[in-house]
Each structure stands twice: as C-alpha cells, then as structure tokens.
Chains A and B, each alone.
Chain A
Amino acid sequence: MTTVVYCEAGHRHALELIAKARTLSSEVIALCEDEAACGACLAAGADRAALLPLAPDDCAQGDLAAAALARLAPDSVLFPATVRGRFLSGWAAARLQTGLTADCTALGVTQDGLLLQSRPAFGGNLTADILCREKRPQMASVRPGVFPMPETEGNVPAAPIEKLDVRPLRDYLIREGFIPAQNAVSLQDAQVIVAGGKGVGSRKGFDKLFRLAALLGGAVGATRSAVDAGYIGYAHQIGQTGVTVRPRLYIVFGASGAIQHTVGMSAAKTVIAVNRDRLAPIFRCADYGVAADWEETIDVMISELSEQA
C-alpha cells in the first residue's frame, strides 16, 4: 500500500501520521505545503516528499490537494484532523469523488490490504470500523495526538523533494486577517494539563485553573460543556470534538466524565480527578480521586504549590 500523508505548513502533527503510515504501508509519501515540512517528514521516516504550492485560500488549497492526489495516485491518504486539515480532506475527497472517514482514532490494514479506519461516534459511545472498498484513494483524517510523535534522528536522508506542478483552478476566498487565540496554548505539547468541566461554573472559576496551571508550568483544558457554557474558548476543548492530549499529568476539576471528554485524555500518564460526587464517571478514568468541592481543593493545591515554589 502506498500512503500519502498531507502535511500543513507549520504543523507537526503530520509527523505522527508519517510514523503510523510506515507501519501500514510499503511506501509513505509526504505531501507538504512548504519545504521545512518536507525535511521534517523525511526525517520522520517518509520515503519521498512532494511539495505543492500553498494558496492563501483554503478552498483553492483543497483543489490543489485534490490535483496533487490525482497525480500521486496513492492507495490511501491521511490528513491531520485539524480544523483546516479536516476541511481540506473533505474538499479534496468530494473533488475526487472518493470515501472519507473523518476523525479516526485507530488505523489498521485488513487481510485483503484495505485501510481499516476506526472512528468514534455518538459522543464516543461507539467505535465504528469503516472501509472504502472500491474508490481510491481511501481517505481518512486522524485526530492529532492519537499516535505518538516519532523520535527523529538528526540525519535527514537526502531524498529529493519533488515539486508538483499543480495550479489553483480559481479563487474562492480572501483571507482578511487573523486574531490569535488568547492564552494560546499548545495542549498537545503540554506535559501538564489542568482541565475544567461545567462544574467549574464560570469564567472566574477558570481563572483559578489558569493560576494552578501557571504554578505547574502547564496548559488549561476544558470539556465541551464548559466551552459550550462560554467559560473558556474552543481552543481549550479536550475530547472527541476538541483535541486529544497525552500529558504526563492531567488534573481535572468539576467534570462528570462524559465519554466525549474522556476519549481525549485517556492517553495521559497520570490522572487526578476532583469532583464532589464520588460516583461521577470521571473517577473511573482517574488514578487519583479527590471526592470534594473542586474550588476548596484547588485553593489548597494552589496554596501548597505556592509554598513549595
């Protein structure tokens, strides 16, 4: 099987997919938006790197991706399931009239050599295995953080970078501006995450989480219901419709433990959960449980850790 991994400029998550694709395929081609990505993908184990132009217009980029995939004609294609990666994969799949499985959390190969794509649905209550039997390429987007980042060695193999001669069909969108998220956090790279659920109760409540996170040198995450309630921005959302994280330490306050949330944090090394309800499902996913009021607990933790600092 030949697999193409689509690599967005400035994103490292494609490297996780390169490493995974190597275990599934005989040949891994990195399809990159810039030269830096080509080098990183080759170092991570891609056999070849192909460079496609970068359009400032995401729809035009989707056309470019479709044209490049038609040229490379792989058996399968993996996209990182970022907001943009998911958009590009959908646009390209529609252009190529092929199947797409969004937000996969596991990949494999069947006995007859098909890409086995598994994805959660219904708030994570179900996992569905999906095949694309006839149409090619078999396309999937994969949640960032699902597969570990490969350890890359310093010596980059000197494989040539193939520049693809594909051109945008037309203009669709004009990018007018960009406002970076406040408290821009890289949840995926964080070693420590302090997360809050709806039980945190307010924006002010989350301020305490930010204080604890600062003491621990970590980032702040949130469940979907806390984000939906407007306590914190979407960029902080952990779980099935947010990001998947794998920190060393995950401390979570006032979350019930909905599967929608826990699928995003189950790879954490150590989990501490705080919830007044001893029977809350969140404790099933925790190494250490504190059955107490979240705010009293965080106050104690903040004062204990401030003293140590």
Chain B
Amino acid sequence: MRILCLVKQVPDSLEVRMGSDLTLEREFVAQVLNPADESAVELALRLRDAHGGEVTALSMGPARAEGTLRELISRGVDHAALLCDPACVGSDTLATARALSAAAKALGPFDLLLFGRRAADGETGQVGAMTAALLGIPCVVHATDAEIEGDVLTASQLTEAGTVRWRAKLPAALTLCEWSYPLRLPTLSGLRRAKNAPVAHLTHEDIALSREDCGLRGSPTRVTHVSARPSGVRHTVWFSAQEAAETAAHCLEEVKP
C-alpha cells in the first residue's frame, strides 16, 4: 500500500504578522507540524504497519518546512518531498489543491491520500476536499478513524449531528480531525535516518504544473484587506454566585413566552 500524507508547517502561536502584499509572514515564530496533520501521519503509519507498504510525506512551503519533514522521517515516515517554489507563494485553496493534486500524480500512484482536516493558521479546511475533487477520487472529510480491508476503506466522519460511517474503494482521500490519532515519538534509528535521508525539493516543473496555475497567478481569490478583529467588548458588572443565579433565573423569565 502506498500512502501520501499532505502536511503543512504552521506557526506555533496564532500571533500573526502580515507582509506588505497581505500574504502571511511566517518567519518570526517557531514552526510546528499542523496539529490535525499529526492524526493523518499516525494513521498512515498504523495502516502501513498493519498492511505493509510505504508512507510518503509531502509539504508545500518554504525551504525551512524541510525541518518538519525530517522530523516526520524520525517518527517513521519512509519518504519526504517538499514542493518549494517561489512560483507557488500566495496560493489560495484552489491553487494549493491544484499543486497538491499535481504532486500526488507525479509522485504516485497512491492508494490513500491523508490530510489534516484544516490548517491551524489559514483554517479554511478546504484543501483536502478540493484536491480529491480535482483527482476525482472519493473523499471523507472530518474523519476520526479509518480502517482498510483489501482495497476498501471504511471511515467515521464527525458531523454536527453525529457520526457517519462511509465506505469507499481505494484510491481515496481522508481528512483527519485533530484529536484522532496521537502521533508516535521519534525512534533512535528514525532520528539517525532523518539526518541523512534525502528530502527532494520540487518545483512546479517537476510535477508538471503550469506556471499559470500556481501561486497568486493561479489563485482566483485575493485578500484585499486585513484587520484586527473588534472583539465584542462589553462592560462587565461584577457579581457573586447568588447574583449570577438570580440573573439567570431572571433571564429565564424573559425567555418564557
């Protein structure tokens, strides 16, 4: 079985700084693996351990994202590649999905594509579904667990109303929720391997992606303005617990028809 994990390096804190072109500045804060991607990687490793095969981790980002990929090798990922191309800077969700689907084709074929359900920084949570749509493969988003038997994937999807169980034939894609599979620790041999393992740096040409489809040029949406959010500040009256109960009861009276 060949599994591809699409991962992202995100800032460790949610403090932000924007560049003059309104793209995010990512240089000033520690970078970590996106939390939801941890679930995706751990699921990939468990499926590989159970069924055999190989796990490849792919990221699109600046050169320093290589650090995150090497860390994943130390935790058991077999191969890693970084789509690292100035042409891809400023990609919106569609341009990102295009790049990832092109990379999946170029490095593939893969039986399973695993994503985190959303990135902690941009928080759009659309790239997994859009990549699967571009590849035309089944996709289950917001998955909390998954199994594979033969060439059939079964996955649980967390929704507002409950959990949906889906079945699909491979190849397929999943996006994983944050708290589903805690990522295993690095091993000694993994750490040794991570030091020297090759991590290919790819450009749009390497994955047969047209320059027109990349980055800002290939992105139909554009951020035109960014502001710090006004945070609904209220004037607070200080209370005791008894007063809080009375106020709650009073509000309740108002609610009643």
Q: Which residues of A contact B (CB under 8 A)?
A: 59, 62, 82-84, 86-87, 89-95, 97-103, 120-135, 172-181, 184, 191-192, 216-217, 227-228, 230, 234-235, 240-241, 243, 248-249, 251, 259-260, 262-263, 266, 270-274, 283-292, 296-297, 300-301, 304-305, 308
How would you classify the secondary structure of chain A's contact residues: helix, strand, loop or mixed?
Answer: mixed
For A228, the chain B residues whose CB sits under 8 A away are: 178-179
With A98-B220, A100-B93 as contacts: A304 and B139 at CB distance below 8 Å: no
Interface residues of B in 118-166 (CB under 8 A from A): 118, 120-126, 129-134, 137-142, 154, 157-166
Q: Which residues of B contact A (CB under 8 A)?
A: 14-16, 18, 92-94, 97, 118, 120-126, 129-134, 137-142, 154, 157-168, 177-179, 219-229, 231-249, 251-252, 254-255
A289 touching B236, Cβ below 8 Å: yes
B126 touching A100, Cβ below 8 Å: yes
Starting from the known contacts A91-B129, A234-B158, 17 additional A-B residue pairs (CB-CB under 8 Å) come to A86-B126, A90-B133, A93-B93, A93-B130, A97-B220, A98-B94, A102-B93, A126-B228, A134-B220, A173-B167, A179-B165, A181-B163, A259-B229, A286-B236, A290-B240, A290-B243, A301-B248
A181 touching B222, Cβ below 8 Å: no
A192 touching B252, Cβ below 8 Å: yes
With A130-B222, A234-B158 as contacts: A191 and B167 at CB distance below 8 Å: no
A131 touching B245, Cβ below 8 Å: no
Query: Which of B160, B234, B238 is the most central at the interface, judged by chain A CB atoms within 10 Å of its CB?
Result: B160
A262 touching B231, Cβ below 8 Å: yes
Complex Cα–Cα for A114 and B97 (A) = 24
A300 touching B162, Cβ below 8 Å: no
For B249, the chain A residues whose CB sits under 8 A away are: 304-305, 308
For B219, the chain A residues whose CB sits under 8 A away are: 99
* 29 pairs, CB–CB < 8 Å, chain A vs chain B: A59-B132, A59-B139, A83-B158, A90-B126, A92-B133, A94-B133, A122-B16, A123-B14, A124-B229, A127-B228, A135-B220, A173-B140, A174-B167, A177-B165, A179-B162, A181-B162, A216-B248, A230-B179, A263-B231, A274-B244, A284-B233, A284-B236, A286-B236, A287-B237, A290-B241, A290-B244, A301-B248, A304-B245, A304-B249
Complex Cα–Cα for A239 and B97 (A) = 26
A130 touching B221, Cβ below 8 Å: yes
Min C-beta distance of B141 to chain A, whole Å: 5
Complex Cα–Cα for A217 and B237 (A) = 25
B138 touching A59, Cβ below 8 Å: yes
Complex Cα–Cα for A90 and B124 (A) = 10
Query: Which of A62, A121, A177, A184 is the most central at the interface, judged by chain B CB atoms within 10 Å of its CB?
Result: A121
Complex Cα–Cα for A271 and B244 (A) = 10
A178 touching B163, Cβ below 8 Å: yes
With A103-B124, A288-B236 as contacts: A216 and B94 at CB distance below 8 Å: no
Chain A residue with the shortest CB-CB distance to B220: A99
B124 touching A217, Cβ below 8 Å: no
**B94 interface neighbour in A100, A130, A131, A300, Cβ under 8 Å:** A100
Min C-beta distance of A15 to chain B, whole Å: 16
B224 touching A176, Cβ below 8 Å: no
Complex Cα–Cα for A101 and B223 (A) = 10
For B242, the chain A residues whose CB sits under 8 A away are: 300, 304
Chain B residue with the shortest CB-CB distance to A63: B133
A180 touching B162, Cβ below 8 Å: yes
Min C-beta distance of B222 to chain A, whole Å: 6
For B94, the chain A residues whose CB sits under 8 A away are: 93-94, 97-100
**A87 interface neighbour in B141, B220, B251, Cβ under 8 Å:** B141
Min C-beta distance of B233 to chain A, whole Å: 5
Complex Cα–Cα for A83 and B157 (A) = 9
With A90-B126, A103-B124, A248-B251 as contacts: A130 and B223 at CB distance below 8 Å: yes
For B167, the chain A residues whose CB sits under 8 A away are: 173-174, 176
